[in-house]
Chains A and B, each alone.
Chain A
């Protein structure tokens, strides 16, 4: 189900989402953990979590200075059933205007769509947890353990307006900073290369993701039509048998096309979306590193100034050493993280592209057979 390839899960900590319940305006995930680690009270347990609690966990990682040198696994997107719910509502309203058959058919389709969105959001939340569990450092995080084990409500309230505004300003500052920092050429070749690469890659992935979304959406809307075309064929003429066969054919190909669009969505669009988020997280890592580099350089300058004025030298020295230490720690782990990122990315793309091609082939062959047989 994962859009990415997690590190092979070992017995010490396995996390998955065993169940999920969709209520009117929220989704309740049942997070199931199997672990041999001593810090947990039991070996196997489950808790119920909501989306906000995932976000809380993610944010706690981001705000933790100790993790500045790691790519924080991107937070899962909010479950969005609005569009699907709207469609179901519209269908309910229009019930009178179509035949019973049409109504049940459309209802089934919309329900299948709802189910697909539901499955996707479950998968994305699961991927997030998998990544955290697979990360050698993050998996030991206390908040993470609390998240997994504490079977009461974490009473994490969503951010209120003030906090959202704060976040917004933080992001603005960050992007302004990011521009400044990006201008600074890095001494280390590896990081310089990674920086340019990531910037460009991120933009292009964003573009590709948007375009693939659009493509798949128009694929889906094209499919809606065939539906009505075929029902009309039937009442069209005295040569009933022939036209019935044709309309059956159209219905079958339409179903197959729907599967094609769904598969494309899963393998291609989701892949791109996920890597959009991950490349953003990688960019954030680079940003943090650059920030710490700037801090380090500032500390150096302050130290020089202090030495020149012969004032607060000790303080400046400790601060400089701290910055240096931080910077080096970040650089080291960042290097490893980025290499891992690349490996993961290549593997994920490979898996998904292969699966995409195989599925497209399968569907095209089936469609071909169906059409030929009806001739």
Chain B
């Protein structure tokens, strides 16, 4: 139902006059096999096709429709703009309006990725886990409907670092990859086939699956050639720069530190209240989610403890029943022991549900929010760059003015050339800044929608598991009651 409302709003918003230069600045934009020429007419024709292909995504896109906070400058269709760069956008919305209405089957996102079959390859410290990545889709973006490849953890990290380097600085929220864990992996490598290493592998497998699903849910990232290559091609060049102790790793750490320092020194004049409000919102959200995550983790701990204690009590009650010489009571006590044992199992299952559904989701979002904050920081950096080049331009202009009064024609010419160049840079800086601000607005609203949807689905699943547990409990106690009554 959201879809309709939002689409209406789009149609009412005035045509966005997007500078046609957008398309030429593809150096900053997503690297893609450009499916479209610069010929407006062809674009128009192909674009309509494009729209119907991607309609499921368009659902997601359009349902992001401008909320009151977002000003009408950002029509949802602008995501496609970098590729098409056309002021005919509102015509698209018109023509696709009907299709969207028909497609109103909801958010059926037509691609599903599963990560399965972790397999240990190799031996000793060079061993690694290979995971099977299976993609099922009906999008014509892919060559076949169903295919699978083998990937290892560093491949995932490599994919993320490529996407991050391409998209983060222009404002797209790139989902973060699961974290490296040297301790966990070493245990697996060494070959300990015990409970904790199995749990670790399962945790990682599930995290990788969520990571991939999140990445392809993003309409731009889905079309990225690196993503497509990752999903489809059987051989992937080994991503060496993801190793923790490599030179690239060290470089990353140095960069992170430098960024942190810079962040403290940049004082940005926030002209747009929206950004200030959103940043504050994400700060708060970050704090809350971390707290909640910690709480849920300790809940899991306690539930596990409860289950252990219940199991012990069950054994003890069984022994008590054995030594009781009144037969009916003895039997009842043994029954009690059985009931408690089953309850213990229930507790364990519940703890698993707590963990896998809730806690991991929260952990994911804590990391996602860090990515969001990173995007805001990039915007600040872009602004800084723009301001810097503006300042430089001003200085050069002053220098030129001074040179006017001296008689050095070649120096003057040089100054004039520099100024021309700088003016271009300033304009570019301003455009970059506006672009990133626009992108961020859209990304943030998409992110929020996804987040609420994610939380809702998980919570509903969690509640269902709670209901299940309760029903089982009821069954167990109902079976026990007549036994207890039979004691005479």
Contacts and interface: CB of A to CB of B under 8 A. Distances in A.
Interface of A: 197, 200-201, 204-205, 207-208, 210-212, 214-215, 218-219, 221-222, 225-226, 228-229, 232-233, 235-239, 242-243, 246, 249, 253, 342, 345-346, 349-350, 353-354, 356-358, 360-361, 364-365, 367-368, 371-372, 374-375
Given A225-B298, A237-B451, A350-B332, 15 more contacts: A208-B316, A208-B317, A208-B320, A211-B315, A236-B289, A243-B455, A246-B463, A253-B466, A342-B326, A350-B485, A350-B488, A364-B477, A365-B470, A368-B467, A372-B467
Contacts of A222: 299, 302-303, 305-306
A235 B289 CA distance: 10
A335 to B, nearest CB: 15
B477 A357 contact: yes
Given A208-B317, A239-B456, A371-B466, A357 B474 contact: no
Given A222-B303, A368-B471, A357 B298 contact: no
Contacts of B336: 353
B481 A361 contact: yes
A236 B285 contact: yes
B176 to A, nearest CB: 20
Contacts of A345: 326, 329
B333 to A, nearest CB: 8
B32 interface: no
A211 B328 CA distance: 23
A237 B292 contact: no
A211 B312 contact: yes
Contact of B309 (A197, A211, A235): A211
Given A226-B299, A228-B295, A205 B320 contact: yes
Contacts of B310: 215
Given A361-B477, A365-B474, A350 B324 contact: no
B323 A364 contact: no
B473 interface: yes
A357 B324 CA distance: 20
B320 A375 contact: no
A69 to B, nearest CB: 22
B291 interface: yes
Contacts of A374: 463
A341 B417 CA distance: 109
A64 B323 CA distance: 32
A236 B477 contact: no
Contacts of A349: 329, 332-333, 487
Contacts of A354: 481, 484-485
Contact of A215 (B292, B306, B488): B306
B268 interface: no
Contacts of B291: 228, 232
A225 B295 contact: yes
A370 to B, nearest CB: 9
Contact of A350 (B288, B459, B474, B487): B487
Contact of B312 (A214, A237, A239): A214
Interface residues of B: mostly helix, strand, loop or mixed? helix
Contacts of A358: 481
Contacts of B306: 215, 218-219, 222
A103 B463 CA distance: 28
Contact of B470 (A218, A221, A357, A364): A364
Contacts of A212: 313, 316-317
B296 interface: yes
A357 B452 contact: no
Contacts of B464: 375
Given A204-B320, A208-B316, A357-B481, A350 B329 contact: yes
A236 B464 CA distance: 21
Nearest to B312: A211
Contacts of B285: 236-237
Contacts of A197: 323, 325
Contacts of B179: none
Contacts of B324: 201
A365 B475 CA distance: 10
Centre residue among A354, A356, A374 by max chain B CB count within 10 A: A354
A219 B350 CA distance: 14
Contact of A225 (B299, B452, B466, B487): B299
Contacts of A225: 295, 298-299, 302
Given A201-B324, A350-B484, A239 B302 contact: no
B248 interface: no
A261 to B, nearest CB: 10
B132 to A, nearest CB: 35
Nearest to A239: B452
Contact of A229 (B299, B328, B474, B487): B299
A205 to B, nearest CB: 6
B56 to A, nearest CB: 23
B284 interface: yes
26 contacts: A197-B325, A204-B316, A204-B323, A207-B316, A212-B316, A218-B302, A218-B305, A218-B309, A225-B298, A225-B299, A226-B299, A236-B292, A249-B463, A345-B329, A346-B328, A346-B487, A350-B484, A350-B487, A353-B487, A354-B481, A354-B485, A357-B480, A361-B477, A364-B470, A371-B466, A375-B460
Contacts of A249: 463
Contacts of A364: 470, 473-474, 477
A162 to B, nearest CB: 39
Given A353-B332, A354-B485, A200 B313 contact: no
Contacts of B199: none
A207 B314 CA distance: 11
A238 B303 CA distance: 30
Interface in B126-173: none
A239 B324 CA distance: 57
A207 B323 CA distance: 13
Contacts of B296: 229
Contacts of B117: none
Contacts of A368: 467, 470-471, 474
B388 to A, nearest CB: 36
Interface in B429-462: 448, 451-452, 455-456, 459-460
A178 B285 CA distance: 66
Contacts of B452: 237-239
Contact of B302 (A221, A237, A372): A221
A239 B329 CA distance: 53
A260 to B, nearest CB: 10
B478 interface: yes
B26 to A, nearest CB: 35
